[in-house]
Chains A and B, each alone.
Chain A
Amino acid sequence: AQKITQTQPGMFVQEKEAVTLDCTYDTSDPSYGLFWYKQPSSGEMIFLIYQGSYDQQNATEGRYSLNFQKARKSANLVISASQLGDSAMYFCAMREARGGGADGLTFGKGTHLIIQP
């Protein structure tokens, strides 16, 4: 089974609208962390936001917030007031405490977000 599932291969959104990018995950570890990265066409991977499994509140970073629903194993990224510069690939990733070997991140396949003027 896939550890990270991003069901939206592509999304078109009007500028200034809010965007929700979906991410569901699969783990049996009680301790884990969820990360979102942005990858513009230039190829760099930019860290956006982190949510820990024990965090009581949803994470926020500027225009980015994470809608964390632990029981549903869902960690959706919300971008408020979208801008043209938000057009990019967005990846959800998970770090498990010590599961499966890697202490790195396991990535989903990504969502290609295009903001239209």
Chain B
Amino acid sequence: GAGVSQTPSNKVTEKGKYVELRCDPISGHTALYWYRQSLGQGPEFLIYFQGTGAADDSGLPNDRFFAVRPEGSVSTLKIQRTERGDSAVYLCASSQRSWGNSPLHFGNGTRLTVT
């Protein structure tokens, strides 16, 4: 596709439920990133994939959060037993390279609301 696509654009769920957020990166981009952005804050790093493997998951806040990218393209961020504090915009980005002047191209995000 022309840009990074994220679905759904909005997700409302009840506390304790499980959610999946999907990201379809720009074709050919091997690096994929998940960020979380709370109101009035900058994006906060969660996890980075190079190809199919998670190269760095140091930003995942706890073991309720997990992400996969099984075929090196589409990625899914999974959140178990959601809590109200998980409410935020979840941004996905991809880039051609994970170094140098290669910018991250962001999707429009998924706004997650946990009630």
User: If A33-B101, A103-B31 touch, does A109 touch B41 (CB 8 Å cutoff)?
Assistant: yes
Query: Nearest Cβ in chain A — how far from B79, in angstroms?
Result: 19
Interface residues of A in 64-117 (CB under 8 A from B): 91, 93, 95, 97, 101-110
CA distance A35 to B42 in the complex (A): 13
For B8, the chain A residues whose CB sits under 8 A away are none
User: B25 on the interface (CB 8 Å rule)?
Assistant: no
Which of these, B42, B45, B58, B99, contacts A110 with CB under 8 Å? Answer: B42
How many residues of B are counted as interface, with CB atoms below 8 angstroms from the partner's CB atoms? 28
Tell whether, in the assembled complex, residue A44 and residue B42 are in contact, meaning their CB atoms are under 8 Å apart. Answer: no
User: If A43-B109, A52-B100, A102-B56 touch, does A107 touch B48 (CB 8 Å cutoff)?
Assistant: no
B94-106 interface mask toward A, CB cutoff 8 Å, 1 = contact, 0 = none? 0000111101111
Q: Which residue of A lies closest to B104 (CB)?
A: A105
Query: Nearest Cβ in chain B — how far from A30, in angstroms?
Result: 14
User: B16 on the interface (CB 8 Å rule)?
Assistant: no
For A105, the chain B residues whose CB sits under 8 A away are 43, 45, 104
B73-94 interface mask toward A, CB cutoff 8 Å, 1 = contact, 0 = none? 0000000000000000101010
Chain A interface residue number, banded? 20 to 34
For A45, the chain B residues whose CB sits under 8 A away are 43, 91, 93, 104, 106
User: If A109-B41, A109-B42 touch, does A103 touch B99 (CB 8 Å cutoff)?
Assistant: yes
Which of these, A52, A102, A104, A108, contacts B42 with CB under 8 Å? Answer: A108
In the complex, the 8 A-B pairs of residues with the closest C-beta atoms, listed nearest first: A107-B42, A45-B106, A103-B98, A47-B103, A104-B33, A50-B101, A101-B56, A101-B58
Known: A47-B104, A91-B42, A104-B93. 17 other contacts (CB 8 A): A33-B101, A35-B104, A45-B43, A45-B93, A45-B106, A52-B101, A91-B43, A101-B58, A102-B45, A102-B48, A103-B50, A103-B99, A104-B35, A104-B98, A105-B45, A107-B44, A109-B42
